[in-house]
Structure 1
Amino acid sequence: MDKPAKQRDAEATKARILAAAKKEFAKNGLAGARVDVIADRAKANKRMIYHYFGNKEDLFQIVLEEAYIDIRTAEQKLELNNIPPREALEKLVRFTWTYYLKNPEFITLVNSENLHKARHLKKSQMIEKVSRRFVDMVARLLERGTAEGAFRPGIDPVQLNITIAAIGYYYLTNRFTGSIVFQRDLMAADALDERLRFNIETILRLVCVEL
């Protein structure tokens, strides 16, 4: 049965507000973001934002949750259990790098939340649930790879997750200063391809029994 027009309009408005808020928070952080700008971009008024999402802090938390849910959902769709362990690990590294490149707002939102010492994530039960599911997925991959003799035993899935994220995250968050310090355009197409190859090789050498 079709949803009533009023309900569809409300959902469309919420979606526009969230999309506008994501851009504003990613660009200016929580402190610098303005609800007026979000309302203007979303073609909504401030009363509607407060009605649907509460205050600016509440809206930021929802945007942050949605950002994490998006990447965690995309990771689950990789279906790593159906791929040989080494190929699955390479696919995860490749996905993480590509996701960061295609979704730069995710990185800036995470940076902003770290400035606030994760006070919004601390209140989120949803983040705990989706993050646990991701860690469990990587743990199963490591167990399967170890059982098949492809991976070294005893690798902590949390440490591996942090390392996979870090080798892409650091490169991209420091791309401007890095381009000056290392005297190369870190965002040139060939440089990005080279970095992905390096990331994959680094993780495989860390985890695999032999290459």
Structure 2
Amino acid sequence: MNILGKIRDAERTRKKILEAAKEDFFEKGYNGARIESIAKKAGVNKQLIYHYFKGKEELINETIADFVSTVPPVNLILPANPAQIASFRYKVNQNHLMDFLKFTAWEAIEKIPPNTNGEDTRKKVLQSYVDDMRSKQEMGLVPESLDPALITLMMSSLTIYPLLYENVTRLITGLEPDDPEFQEKWTEFLDEISKRIFKMDS
């Protein structure tokens, strides 16, 4: 096999490991995932994983960075009208990020090493939302009295919680998060409160 062939083979192997790692980490959390299980799913020897990644911490960071890179850029570009951002993020979370969101729920109950779980990658995405809100504030589209970071946190809560905590959503509304009736009602609710906050017509 020539050098180019070896490089392509190595890239394919690394990709298989990352795909298997994503499945294991997202399903079981950081502490529940096992290198042995990831190796089996990837169809490789356990030692080969350590050839590509220094350990579990590097593997989870690379797994999340790889996952974020596969999210279509259009899903990360927020609408120009701030009153449309909440419903937009809700739709993206619902249609593209549910597996990842379920993984983040493990963080609430696990004790994990610092600087893992793709912290740097995720911070870049979330801070880009804060920067976007700050930019809209400078353009006069967001009330000056509102902190862009806190608005972003609020929107994250409103667009994740109902999806992630299915039982709470059902107990309060009588509807499941994946019920089209709930999805329509929640989208309308997000748009309505957003218009009140930003005092703009959608």
TMscore range, shorter length: 0.7 to 0.9
Distance 1:93 1:124 in 2: 23
CA RMSD of aligned residues (A): 3.0
State the shift of 1:27 in Å: 0.8
Distance 1:116 1:68, change over 3 A: farther
Q: RCO higher in 1 or 2 (8 Å CA, sep ≥ 6)?
A: 2
2:136 and 2:142 in contact (8 A); partners too? no
2:86 and 2:155 in contact (8 A); partners too? yes
1:97 counterpart = 2:90 = yes
Distance 1:79 1:174 in 2: 25
Distance 2:146 2:127 in 1: 17
Match of 1:29 in 2: 29
The farther-off stretch of 184-193 and 20-29 is 184-193
Q: Percent identity?
A: 22
Distance 1:119 1:67, change over 3 A: farther
Match of 1:13 in 2: 13
Distance 1:53 1:72 in 2: 26
Paired residues, number: 198
With normalisation by structure 2, the TM-score equals 0.80
State the shift of 1:161 in Å: 0.6
Instruction: Classify the secondary structure of the residue corresponding to 1:4.
Output: helix
Match of 1:202 among 189, 193, 196: 193
State the shift of 1:163 in Å: 0.9
Distance 2:152 2:67 in 1: 17
Match of 1:174 in 2: 165
List gaps (5 residues or longer) in structure 1.
none
With normalisation by structure 1, the TM-score equals 0.77
The farther-off stretch of 117-126 and 97-106 is 117-126
Point out the structure with the larger helix share: 1
Distance 1:95 1:47, change over 3 A: farther
List gaps (5 residues or longer) in structure 2.
none
Write out per-residue CA displacement over residues 48-84 of structure 1, whole angstroms, 9 at most, x where no aligned residue.
21111222232123223445566695555x264xx4x
Match of 2:175 in 1: 184
Match of 1:43 in 2: 43
1:29 and 1:112 in contact (8 A); partners too? yes
State the shift of 1:142 in Å: 2.3
Write out per-residue CA displacement over residues 17-56 of structure 1, whole angstroms, 9 at most, x where no aligned residue.
1122111111111121122221222222212211112222
